[in-house]
Amino acid sequence: MMQIKAKFNTDEGLNFIQQYYINQGLKKFGADGKDAVHKELRQMLLRDCFTPKFVKDMTASEQKKAQSVMMLLAEKRFEKKIKGCLVVYQGNVTCEWLLGEDTASPTALQEAIATTCVIDAHEGRCLK
- CA dihedral in degrees (44, 50, 52, 57; nearest 10)? -170
pLDDT band at 82 (very low <50, low <70, confident <90, very high): very high
Q: How far apart (Å, rounded) are the C-alpha atoms in residues 111 and 108?
A: 8
46 in any annotated domain: yes
Model confidence over 91-125: pLDDT tens digits?
565 556 666 666 666 788 888 888 988 898 889 88
84 burial via Cβ count (<10 Å: 0-12, 13-18, 19+): buried
pLDDT band at 1 (very low <50, low <70, confident <90, very high): very low
Q: Residue 47 pLDDT more than 70? A: yes
Beta bridge partners of 69: 88
- Cα distances (Å, whole numbers) of residue 99 to 18, 50, 104: 34, 18, 9
Structural domain for 71, as ranges? 16-99
Whether 32 maps to a domain, the answer reads yes
In a domain, 121, yes or no: no
Report yes or no on 78 lying in a domain. Answer: yes
Q: CA Rg, the chain, in Å?
A: 20
Q: How many domains does the chain have?
A: 1
